[in-house]
Each structure stands twice: as structure tokens, then as C-alpha cells.
Amino acid sequence: MLRRAREAGLLDKKSIEEILMELAKLRAVKIGGKWRLTEISKKQRTILEKMELEFQSMQTWLLERAEFRGE
């Protein structure tokens, strides 16, 4: 993450802590037995795009994490 943030030029304006705190706001909720990702803010989408992280990859990771934690 640090390398990608540095390569994307994100660290020129924000610290890695600020970036991670913004991404930590991403949430998954269980609706009708299926996990869904809540809405992504413009800031979060911009960070993901600049770091060349695909939304689908992030969504899969969050949903797997939610299932693992038994939420």
C-alpha cells in the first residue's frame, strides 16, 4: 500500500495514515443473507483509482473479511 500510494503521488498531500483511515471507512453489510459493500465516497474512489486498485478487488477483499469475522 505504501509503495502504491507513493507511486500514485498520494503522499504529496496526505499521510499514509490518512489514506488508510479513509479506506478503513469502507463497510460491508449483510442483506438477505448476502454481503454487500456500502456506498463508496468520492475520496475513497479517487484513492483506489490513483493506486490502481480495482473496485472489484477491494469489494471481494472486504466481503471475504466480513465473512471471516462472522459478521
pLDDT tens digits for range 22-54: 988 988 788 898 888 888 899 998 998 888 876
Sequence spans of domains, the chain? 2-68
Burial, 19: exposed, middle or buried (Cβ in 10 Å; 0-12, 13-18, 19+)?
A: buried
Q: Supply the pTM of this predicted model.
A: 0.69
